[in-house]
Structures are given as C-alpha cells and as structure tokens.
C-alpha cells in the first residue's frame, strides 16, 4: 500500500469519526471544586470566545493534548479507559493530567471519556509518549491544541495509520454553555446502574472469556428464581457508610424480632469481590447488581417464614456507583427524582430501608478501632470528604422505597428502640 492510498484510507476513517466528533461538546474537569470548562468546535473562528476566560488561560499553557477513548463497545471502552488512566499516571511530574469528556448534551450514552494532558516545559518527549499510547490502542483519539495570531485556540484531530500520525481535521474552539445535566451522568444508566436483571447479566456474559470467574457468578444467578415474590414477613434493609453501626444494629434486630440476617453481596459470591473490584466500572457494578438478585431470591424464600434483615442492598450498590461515576461537586449529581434513584422494578422490594448516620468525627473514631479489609471506595470515604458527601446525598435521594434516616450516634440501646418503633410504624405488626 503506497503512502497516498494509506493517507486516503486514514482520511476516510477520520471523516466518519470527525462527523460525530465535531458535533460534541467538550468538558474539562480542572478540579473537584470548580465548574467544568465547556467548549464546542467550529470549522471557522466565528464562535464566541474570550481571551480572558479560564478556558483560554488553561489551553494557552505549554503543550496541550487530549486523549480520549472512542469505542462502540462499552466494556472494551471502559477497560481501555482504565488502561489509559494507569498509563498517564506514569507521565513525568512536569505533566498535568485532567479529566476530559466529549458528549452530546442530554443524550444518554453519548459520553466519551478521556484526559487533557499539559506539559508546561514543552518537552517533545511528552508528545512521543502520547503518540505511543495511541498507536498501542486503536480506540484512542489524540488531539493537539495550538493558538493562532488572532488569539484563538484550535483543536487538531490526529489519526495514526501505518505507524504514522497525521492531523486529519482542525477546528476552532468556541465557548459553550453549561448543559442541563452534568455530562458524567449521561453514561450511568445500563453502564454502572442497571435497571433490570438482563442488563447486568449481559455485561458479565460478555466477560466470561476475559474473566473466567464471571461464569461462576452467572451459574449461581441461573439457579435463582426470577419470578420470586416477597413473603408475608417484613424485609428491613440496613444501609449506611462504614462504621455507622450496621453490624451492631443488624445483630440486635435479629435477636429482637427473631429475624433471619442476610447481606449483599451474599457469601456465595463474596469471595469474588476482590476479583471484580479490580475491574472497570461496568464489570464491577454488574457483579454487585447480580449479587442483589441472588440475595433477592433468598429474601423471597426466607420472608415466607420469618422477618428478614438485610445488611446493604440495592441502595448501597447505586449510591456508591453514582457517587463514584459523577465527578466534581455534590451539585453535579443527578437532580432529585431522577430515574437513576428509582428501585428496579424486577427486584424484590423491602418494606423498610434504614439509613444509619453518625457525625464525621465519631465515624472516624469508630474506624480507628476496626481492622477488617475494606474496598477501595470505602477507604476513599475516609480520605475524601467530597466523595463521602456525594454518597450520603445519593442515599437521601433514593425513592420507591426512600431511605428512612436514623441517627446512629446515640447508645446501642437507644438506636435499637428507635428502629423498633420505625418497624412498628412501617411494617405489618402481625408479622413482627
């Protein structure tokens, strides 16, 4: 294949990518506490621009590039994103790496994730490292940012073919308005929040060759009754952050109302948590979602004979997923009454969900007295107050059923008595 033919093929591939790329809005996350910087693309320099804007100041610094994952397969795209993120952490310290997104406003599933990379010292080595990353992953797009004599910033979309990198298209950047929903909300549904069993099952089904243990989970799920219904006895779910007293309360409740104690994920897959916690978000969340369905099958059987206490269930799965996926401030979360806060219609629904809360200082004191293994997200709760706020805010926005908040900072006896009163109020008294 001669160079001319190769270039024409690259241009053809680039044209298809460009048509979608040029329609998107872009967002740069400079920090967790600041509003993202939004921009659009124009073939000419006619769009709105302000040389005093934060966006201009940011993109005018040193060498600036963006690297994004463009994949039609959500699993491959998520895995590629994790791989790219890990590679970028190894860049020299002189490089700044910020999260970046490209999306179609308010269009579900349109988000492309990536990173903005800056080298204030203009080392050519940085560009070569990024080019190597793109060559190694065909799902990755590379763009460069350059200024012109008129004070405008241009984005050059690059494509690698036959080992050679070429700038295929060049567009002028213009300021864009803040969208109605934060862009990171757009890819949550059916990616990290699964509204029905089949969607979560399909993710692990795609991963069997890559993760052999996924087959073990699917086999256990296949054994569950998918038409199960809750029995006549009450089902009470206990939710809350680590060290809010869930274990203490669940044990006390079990004795007080002669209940059966369950948890999610259940013991039959609990030993696989470490494997799936190390995977990309769709795989990890699908694992926990299917754990809820396995637990639901047991709930249906047990609630025919006794009350049921569940240590964490769907609300926990959803709260951590949303808080992790939505970057930045609490205000970036989906607004109240959003569909992501709704209980899945095909999942056994509890009679009462209790959200235990304690003040931050007391929770830290309790954590210091504990030594058991915790997930990466649970560890982050201790170090990242913003993440903790987002988890708590997400819990409080859950609906159908909503969480009933319980102050767990009182004595064990007081907390138990308060919870028993709530059970009497919300559940069928004849069965407790």
**What residue numbers bound the domain in which 97 lies?**
3-185
My answer on whether 277 and 306 are in the same domain is yes
My answer on whether 72 and 208 are in the same domain is no
My answer on whether 211 and 177 are in the same domain is no
Cα→Cα distances 23→20, 110, 156, 187, Å: 5, 11, 15, 18
Model pLDDT for residues 62-78, shown as the tens digit of each residue: 899 999 988 878 888 89
For the ranges 14-18, 250-254, 399-403, the lowest mean pLDDT is seen at 14-18
* CA atoms within 13 Å, Cβ hemisphere of 35: 11
- Out of 185, 206, 238, a domain closes at 185
| Structural domains in the chain (count) | 2
pLDDT of residue 7: 39
My answer on whether 251 and 298 are in the same domain is yes
| Global pTM value | 0.88
Q: How confident is the model at residue 208 (pLDDT cuts 50, 70, 90)?
A: very high
For the ranges 146-150, 158-162, 327-331, 336-340, the lowest mean pLDDT is seen at 158-162
**Mean confidence (pLDDT) of the chain:** 87
Which DSSP category does 68 fall into? E
Percentage of the chain lying above the pLDDT 70 cut: 88
The pLDDT of residue 431 is above 80: no
The pLDDT of residue 320 is above 90: yes
pLDDT of residue 373: 47
My answer on whether 204 and 129 are in the same domain is no
Q: Specify whether the CB–CB gap between 273 and 265 falls below 8 A.
A: yes
Once rounded to an integer, what is the mean pLDDT over residues 87-104? Answer: 93
Closest CA to 242 of 369, 99, 336: 369
Q: Measure the CA–CA gap between 162 and 123, rounded to whole angstroms.
A: 25
The pLDDT of residue 332 is above 80: yes
Element (H, E) at 221: helix 213-222
H runs (alpha helix) in 22-101? 54-59, 74-88
- Out of 139, 165, 185, a domain closes at 185
Which DSSP category does 70 fall into? -
Element (H, E) at 426: helix 412-426
Model pLDDT for residues 358-373, shown as the tens digit of each residue: 876 666 666 666 554 4
Higher pLDDT, 244 or 14: 244
Once rounded to an integer, what is the mean pLDDT over residues 248-271? Answer: 94
The pLDDT of residue 388 is above 90: no
pLDDT of residue 164: 64
Angle 267-268-270 (CA atoms, 0-180°, nearest 5)? 50
Once rounded to an integer, what is the mean pLDDT over residues 137-161? Answer: 86
Higher pLDDT, 105 or 422: 422
Residue 403 placed within a domain: yes
Once rounded to an integer, what is the mean pLDDT over residues 194-202? Answer: 95
pLDDT of residue 169: 83
Q: How confident is the model at residue 163 (pLDDT cuts 50, 70, 90)?
A: low
My answer on whether 154 and 18 are in the same domain is yes
Once rounded to an integer, what is the mean pLDDT over residues 277-295? Answer: 96
Residue 363 placed within a domain: yes
The pLDDT of residue 10 is above 50: no
The pLDDT of residue 122 is above 90: no
Residue 192 placed within a domain: no
My answer on whether 242 and 165 are in the same domain is no
My answer on whether 246 and 389 are in the same domain is yes
The pLDDT of residue 166 is above 50: yes
pLDDT of residue 15: 58
pLDDT of residue 165: 64
- Out of 185, 217, 246, a domain closes at 185
The pLDDT of residue 16 is above 70: no
Q: How confident is the model at residue 32 (pLDDT cuts 50, 70, 90)?
A: confident
Q: Specify whether the CB–CB gap between 47 and 175 falls below 8 A.
A: yes
Q: How confident is the model at residue 18 (pLDDT cuts 50, 70, 90)?
A: low
Higher pLDDT, 201 or 363: 201
pLDDT of residue 410: 85
Once rounded to an integer, what is the mean pLDDT over residues 55-61? Answer: 94
């Amino acid at each position: 294949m001669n160079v001319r033919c190769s270039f024409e093929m690259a241009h053809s591939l680039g044209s298809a990518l460009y048509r979608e790329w040029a329609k998107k809005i872009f967002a740069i996350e400079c920090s967790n506490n600041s509003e993202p910087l939004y921009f659009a693309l124009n073939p000419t320099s006619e769009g709105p621009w302000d040389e005093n804007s934060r966006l201009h100041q940011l993109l005018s610094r040193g060498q600036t590039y963006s690297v994004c994952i463009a994949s039609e397969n959500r699993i491959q795209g998520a895995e590629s994103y994790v791989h790219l993120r890990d590679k970028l952490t190894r860049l020299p310290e002189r490089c700044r790496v910020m999260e970046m997104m490209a999306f179609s406003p308010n269009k579900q599933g349109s988000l492309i994730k990536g990173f903005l990379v800056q080298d204030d010292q203009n080392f050519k080595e940085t560009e070569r490292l990024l080019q190597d990353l793109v060559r190694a992953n065909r799902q990755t797009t590379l763009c460069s940012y350059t200024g012109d004599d008129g004070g405008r910033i241009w984005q050059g979309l690059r494509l690698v073919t036959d080992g050679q990198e070429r700038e295929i298209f060049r567009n002028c950047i213009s300021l864009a308005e803040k969208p109605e929903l934060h862009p990171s909300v757009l890819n949550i549904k059916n990616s990290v929040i699964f509204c029905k069993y089949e969607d979560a099952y399909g993710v692990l089904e795609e991963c069997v060759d890559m993760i052999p243990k996924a087959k073990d989970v699917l086999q256990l799920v296949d054994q569950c009754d998918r038409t199960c219904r809750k029995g006549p006895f009450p089902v009470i779910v206990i939710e809350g952050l680590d060290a809010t007293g869930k274990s203490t309360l669940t044990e006390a409740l079990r004795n007080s109302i002669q209940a059966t104690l369950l948890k999610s994920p259940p013991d039959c897959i609990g030993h696989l948590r470490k494997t799936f916690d190390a995977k990309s978000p769709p795989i990890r969340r699908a694992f926990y979602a299917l754990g809820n369905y396995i637990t639901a099958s047991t709930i249906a059987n047990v609630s025919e004979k006794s009350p049921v206490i569940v240590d964490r269930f769907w609300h926990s799965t959803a709260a951590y997923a949303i808080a992790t996926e939505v970057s930045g401030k609490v205000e970036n979360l989906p607004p109240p009454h959003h569909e992501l806060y709704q209980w899945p219609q095909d999942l056994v629904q509890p009679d009462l969900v209790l959200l235990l809360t304690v003040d931050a200082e007391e929770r830290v004191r309790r954590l210091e007295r504990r030594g058991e293994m915790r997930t990466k997200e649970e560890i982050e709760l201790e170090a990242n107050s913003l993440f903790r706020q987002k988890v708590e805010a997400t819990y409080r926005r859950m609906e159908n059923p909503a969480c009933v908040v319980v102050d767990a900072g009182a004595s064990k006896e007081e907390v138990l008595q308060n919870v028993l009163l709530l059970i009497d109020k919300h559940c069928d008294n004849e069965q407790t």
